[in-house]
Structure formats: structure tokens, C-alpha cells
């Protein structure tokens, strides 16, 4: 019911007054409403303009109308995106040129960080394909040259496979997941750098080598740029204002507490295992200890196994096999050159002892074999593991380069093994590798290559070289400063062979390393270095090559040869602190906490430093 009402009939005057009042009120209220609506609209427009201005406060270097959208849906000019991505590369002009062309040619015109990483990998693949075709045009009657061309063809196949894995990862992962794959991407791209460098180094000095070096130059620069882009992935995402990913960068999933303590467990068979070894693997190791494990195949020279040679056993391996394929090689000297090919993944090969089960060969450089092909044993397939075996090249010091073991296998592991030779004994070529309680013998550059490899609790035994030679333990081949590669000698013992001992202090000098490539990286930590090591520690490769860019670090070593007081005064030779040394542990440097637990290890593994 209304609060007020008229009683009785309305007069005409009264009706007119009411109508006039209603019209007046309508005009007043209508005007007020219109003013409020206009004011509200102006306020909304002002707020939107202010927010847009803040979001677009980043300086724009181009008026290019082409745009890209990041993960949060914000539009960014593609030229700006490309300049941001290429800003930290060593070859900016080439980076910008390739990415601009790629964005222009792509169907979706996308230039967000994820797409640009993919384009940079595509550029390497495209260029490598051209190089591979051009390399086949190098003709020569010199077998070393024609052989080097064949090696390059093989190496480019490996490189293309690693690029394919990297590209597939970029395509399948979102930005949050992709950041967690930084180590994998750098591992694959570093191997591509290594493959290109190995190709060039395989040629003898002369015109053909320089020609190959020039052919590879552009693809090498593309690979360097891709490494730089991946290396700055986290900061790139931040600069593109993609900050809702909830990502926290970690070197490893292993907690700092478990890395320090390793949480070792003593089994009922006496083996010491990290606590992260699954129960099933402990059972397998127990069976291995008791000689009751049933391998897939047995190799025995006396005919008691399915095969008499390792090569035959590998050739018979199924094309598709789920799980680990185990090959038991009985006591014997196997004079052959087995190759664990790229397709042979997850192979475990074990013997009766590093001096009982021995693979031997004598291929060498002096007799006309290229260093890349001199290896007695080659491991390429991922996740290869060797236990209690010996790999020997018997060519001797006079035959110069003669490899006993060449390893390209990613996430490979060698336990209680022997690598025995003289010059170039162990070719730790590429990808991530772990050596535990191994014996490595040699003279010149006898641990060389471009892998990310950790040698833990190994005996590094220096033999007597020829009278006119010097000994060098390591020679690392890192040729790009962003490669994730290097050699780490952790808790090792570096000492002379007994037959060499009388000549160590007077006639023949021994050094810890020399730089095979410009950015060589070697870290020696918590190791025992005998006094036969020259006080200068390191030797130049050729003049001042690499002396300003190499990285040779030492931490927590002992022994007469551990003093750094008289080390060479190159910028990259340094004593490092514990915090820096932790970057080169098994867990951090080769992400060992993420994959060694999946291997059938039967030896203690130290993920962190021994010195607490």
C-alpha cells in the first residue's frame, strides 16, 4: 500500500500541477543519471588506458605490425621478441636474421620464447644437412681424408638425432615443463657442438681440413646461439612477463640433505648402496653378488655360452626390448672391436673382473687408422653400463693415438672397470658419463674428449712414455663456452706406475691437463695428487691457444702434487671454494641423482662432496 494517496476526485488544476511536477522530476533525475553514466564511462576508459600504458612500458624498438602472444595472452611485437631472445647470443645478427625469417615463414607467425627456441634448433638441422651434402663432395686419394669424410657423415647422423630429440622436447612441452628440461637440451646441443668439432679434427692438417672447418662454421654458430637461448631460458620467460608458471629451478630433485649424506645402506650381502636404489634393483644386485642373476645372453670363449664373441651377442640383440638387456661376458681375452650402436639402449655388460674379462685391440694412428676409429670398444647407445671389465689397446707408446674405449652414450656408467693404453686411452667423447672405482692408465692426453664426465674414486695411473714425450692426464675439448661439458676427477688418486717411478722427477714431466679446445674445463677435487706432477700443473696446447678462456679448478686435494703455489698463472687456473665445488658433484654436474638410481649399481655412489 502506498504511503500517501488522494481521497476524492482530482480537479483539472491539481492534475495539471502533478503532471508539471512529474515532467520536472523526470528531467532532473534523467540528467543526473546521464551525468553518472558518462562519468563512469570516462573512469573505466582512464583505468584501461593506464593499465595498458603500464603493461606496454617496455621500450619498443620497431613499429612492425607483426605480433606474438605469450602464455598469459599479452601481445608482443615479433621484432621485439626476437631482439630480446638474441640479445645474449654471441652471433646476434645471425640469430635475428634466422628467427625473423622463421617467424615470417611459419604458419602461426608465433614468436614467443618456446617457438623461437624451436626455430633456432630447426636452423641448425637445416644448416647441418647442407654441410653433410657438401662434405661428400670432398674427394681425395688420401685415405685419411676420405675416411674423415665418412666419419663426418656418421657424426652428422648422431647430431641430427640429438637435434631431433631436442626439437621434439620443445614441441611437446609447455613452457613450465620446458624449463625443467634445460639440462637435457644443453646436453643434446653440447653433443652437437662436439660432433661438429670431432668432424673437423678428424681431417689431417691441410686444405681439406680448412675447407671442412669453413663448411661447419655457420652450423656451429647456429648451435652456439641455440645454447645461449636455452642457457637464458628462465630470464627470457621473466622478460616476456610469463611469471605464473610456478617453476622453481633446481639442479636436481635430490634434496640437499640426501646429497650430503648419501643415505647409504649396507645390504645383507655386504654391498653398500644409496638409499634411492629401488628394492627390485637391490634384489638383482644380491643375485649378481651371488652369481645367480640370469643374463639375457652369455658370452664365453670356451663355448659354454650362447656366443663366443661380444660382437655376435650385440648383433643378436632384439630390435625392440623393454627393460635392461644383460650380457654376461665370462673370463677371457676378447680380441675384437664391439660397438654398442645407437639403437642398442639400456645394455648392461658385466664380466668376472677387470683383469679377467678383457676386450683387447691394437688399432692405432701410426698404422693408418683415424683416432676416432682406433677404439677397441665403442659405446654409443644411451644408458650403457659396464661392470668389472677391462678395455685395452695394446698398440704401445710408439704407435701414438690408440684408443681403448670410446664413449658417446648418454647417462652411461662404468663400475670397477679398467681402461688401459698409452696415448688417448679413454675417449670420453660426448654426453653425460660416470666412472666409479675404475683404473685408467696412459701417457699423453689419456682422458680426452668433450663429455660431461665425473670420475669418482678412480685410480689414474700414469705410465712411462717415450723418452722425448711429456705426460698429460686430461685434454678436454669444450669448444663453446656455454657447453655443459667438462671433466671432474673426484676423490681420485693420481700416481705413477711403478715402472715409471724412477724417471718421474728427473727425465719426464707429467701435467694434469692441457686445452684441446678453447674452453677446456677440468676440475680436480678431494683427490690425492702425487708429487711427480709438475708444480706448474698444466701445459699449453699450442702457444697461447685457450689460455685465457680455459677453466682448470682444484678443491680440497692432498698429496705432494696438490700445492697450487707454483701453478701456471693463466686466468682460468684457480682454487675454488666449497660452494663452487658443489656445482661439479655427481648430482649437480651430470644430474646423477636423477638417473643413476635407475641403473643396477652395486657400488657406493657419492652424489655430493665428501668434505662436509
> Active-site residue numbers?
445
385's grid cell: 653400463
Pairing of strands 272-274, 264-266: antiparallel
Closest CA to 422 of 395, 443, 394: 443
Phi, psi dihedral angles at 95 (to 5 degrees) = -60, -50
Distance of CA 15 to the CA centre of its chain: 93
Rg over alpha carbons for the chain, rounded to the nearest Å, is 33
Interatomic CA distance for residues 453 and 433, integer angstroms: 5
Q: Are 599 and 270 a contacting pair, CB within 8 Å? A: no
What is the CB neighbour count within 10 angstroms for residue 160? Answer: 17
SS3 223: helix
State whether residue 532 is helix, strand or coil. Answer: coil
Angle (nearest 5°) at CA 69 between 64 and 75 = 55
Angle, CA 327 vertex, CA 589 and CA 393 arms, to 5°: 70
Please give the Cα distance from 205 to 32 (Å, whole number).
Answer: 91
326: left (phi over 0), alpha (psi -120 to 50) or beta: beta
Residue 419, helix vs strand vs coil: strand
In which residue are the cell numbers 635430490 written? 254
Strand 459-462 and strand 486-490: the pairing is unpaired
CA dist., res. 425 & res. 435, Å (int): 14
Amino acid at each position: 500500500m502506498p504511503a500517501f494517496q488522494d481521497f476524492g476526485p482530482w480537479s483539472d488544476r491539481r492534475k495539471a500541477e502533478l503532471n508539471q511536477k512529474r515532467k520536472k522530476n523526470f528531467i532532473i533525475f534523467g540528467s543526473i543519471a546521464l551525468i553518472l553514466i558518462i562519468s563512469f564511462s570516462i573512469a573505466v576508459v582512464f583505468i584501461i588506458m593506464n593499465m595498458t600504458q603500464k603493461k606496454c612500458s617496455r621500450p619498443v624498438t620497431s613499429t612492425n605490425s607483426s605480433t606474438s602472444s605469450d602464455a598469459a595472452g599479452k601481445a608482443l611485437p615479433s621484432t621485439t621478441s626476437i631482439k630480446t631472445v638474441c640479445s645474449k647470443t654471441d652471433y646476434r645478427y645471425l640469430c635475428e636474421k634466422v628467427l625473423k625469417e622463421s617467424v615470417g615463414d611459419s604458419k602461426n607467425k608465433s614468436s614467443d620464447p618456446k617457438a623461437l627456441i624451436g626455430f633456432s634448433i630447426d636452423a641448425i638441422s637445416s644448416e647441418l644437412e647442407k654441410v653433410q651434402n657438401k662434405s661428400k663432395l670432398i674427394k681425395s686419394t688420401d685415405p685419411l681424408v676420405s675416411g674423415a669424410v665418412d666419419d663426418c657423415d656418421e657424426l652428422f647422423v648422431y647430431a641430427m638425432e640429438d637435434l631431433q630429440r631436442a626439437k621434439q622436447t620443445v614441441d611437446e612441452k609447455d613452457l613450465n615443463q620446458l624449463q625443467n628440461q634445460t639440462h637435457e637440451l644443453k646436453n643434446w646441443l653440447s653433443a652437437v657442438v662436439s660432433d661438429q668439432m670431432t668432424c673437423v679434427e678428424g681431417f689431417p692438417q691441410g686444405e681439406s681440413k680448412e675447407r671442412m672447418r669453413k663448411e661447419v662454421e655457420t652450423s656451429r654458430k647456429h648451435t652456439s646461439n641455440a645454447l645461449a637461448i636455452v642457457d637464458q631460458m628462465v630470464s627470457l620467460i621473466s622478460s616476456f612477463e610469463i611469471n605464473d608458471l610456478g617453476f622453481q629451478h633446481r639442479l636436481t630433485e635430490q634434496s640437499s640433505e640426501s646429497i650430503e649424506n648419501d643415505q647409504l645402506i649396507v645390504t645383507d650381502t655386504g654391498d653398500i648402496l644409496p638409499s634411492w636404489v629401488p628394492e627390485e634393483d637391490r634384489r638383482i644386485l644380491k643375485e649378481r653378488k651371488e652369481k645367480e642373476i640370469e643374463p639375457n645372453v652369455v658370452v664365453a670363449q670356451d663355448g659354454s655360452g650362447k656366443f663366443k664373441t661380444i660382437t655376435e651377442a650385440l648383433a643378436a640383440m632384439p630390435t625392440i626390448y623393454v627393460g635392461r638387456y644383460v650380457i654376461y661376458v665370462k673370463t677371457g681375452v676378447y680380441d675384437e672391436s664391439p660397438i654398442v650402436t645407437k639403437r642398442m639402449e639400456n645394455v648392461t655388460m658385466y664380466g668376472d673382473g677387470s683383469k679377467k674379462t678383457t676386450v683387447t685391440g691394437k688399432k692405432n694412428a701410426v698404422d693408418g687408422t683415424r683416432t676416432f676409429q682406433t677404439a677397441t670398444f665403442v659405446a654409443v647407445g644411451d644408458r650403457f653400463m659396464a661392470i668389472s671389465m677391462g678395455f685395452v689397446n695394446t698398440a704401445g707408446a710408439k704407435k701414438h693415438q690408440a684408443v681403448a674405449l670410446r664413449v658417446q652414450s648418454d647417462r652411461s656408467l662404468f663400475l670397477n672397470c679398467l681402461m688401459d693404453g698409452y696415448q688417448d686411452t679413454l675417449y670420453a667423447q660426448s654426453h653425460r658419463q660416470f666412472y666409479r672405482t675404475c683404473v685408467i692408465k696412459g701417457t699423453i692426453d689419456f682422458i680426452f674428449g668433450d663429455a660431461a664426465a665425473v670420475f669418482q674414486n678412480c685410480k689414474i695411473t700414469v705410465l712411462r712414455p717415450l723418452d722425448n714425450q711429456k705426460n698429460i692426464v686430461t685434454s678436454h675439448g669444450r669448444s663453446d663456452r656455454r657447453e655443459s661439458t667438462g671433466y671432474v676427477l673426484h676423490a681420485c688418486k693420481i700416481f705413477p706406475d711403478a715402472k715409471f717411478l724412477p724417471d718421474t722427477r728427473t727425465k719426464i714431466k707429467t701435467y694434469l691437463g692441457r686445452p684441446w679446445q678453447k674452453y677446456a674445463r677440468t676440475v680436480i677435487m678431494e683427490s690425492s695428487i702425487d708429487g711427480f706432477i709438475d708444480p706448474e700443473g698444466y701445459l699449453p696446447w699450442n702457444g697461447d691457444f685457450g689460455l685465457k678462456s680455459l677453466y682448470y679448478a682444484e678443491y680440497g686435494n692432498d698429496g705432494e702434487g696438490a700445492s697450487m703455489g707454483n701453478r701456471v698463472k693463466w686466468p682460468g687456473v684457480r682454487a675454488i671454494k666449497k660452494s663452487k665445488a658443489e656445482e661439479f658433484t655427481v648430482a649437480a654436474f651430470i644430474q646423477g641423482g636423477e638417473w643413476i638410481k635407475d641403473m643396477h649399481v652395486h657400488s657406493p655412489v657419492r652424489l655430493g662432496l665428501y668434505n662436509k
